[in-house]
Amino acid sequence: MIKPLGERVLVEPIEQEETTAFGIVLPDTAKEKPQEGKVVAVGSGALKDGVRVPLEVKEGDRVLFSKYAGTEVKYEGKEYLIMKESDIHAIVG
């Protein structure tokens, strides 16, 4: 088990081909394009004025996130990304 800390989220990236199946296709321009993934675990929330504010995303959400976001980890043979919730743009599906 990997339990992200604070406002961090553990995301399993979804390959581009699978992505298309869900209807998200990235257009062909110069702007940064988000990547899709599935939330696997979430932290206890950001600390604001001494209070933990729960995250908006939850386990199982399909999310769009900044392509360059996060830190890679491999756990039991699978690759994940640990990123801050602020790197996630939207929930899809």
* Interacting residue ranges for a copy of itself, rule: CB under 8 A: 1-6, 8, 10, 23-27, 29, 31-34, 44, 46-51, 53, 56-57, 64, 66, 70-77, 79, 82, 85-86, 88-93
State the minimum distance, in angstroms, from the CB of residue 61 to a copy of itself. Answer: 9
Residue type, position 4, single letter: P
Residue-wise burial string across 42-81, b where 16 or more C-beta atoms lie within 10 A, e elsewhere = bbebbeeeeeeeebebeeebbbbbbeebbeeeeeeeeebb
Alpha-carbon distance of 59 to 40, in angstroms, equals 5
Residues in a beta bridge with 47: 52
State the minimum distance, in angstroms, from the CB of residue 46 to a copy of itself. Answer: 8
State the minimum distance, in angstroms, from the CB of residue 63 to a copy of itself. Answer: 8
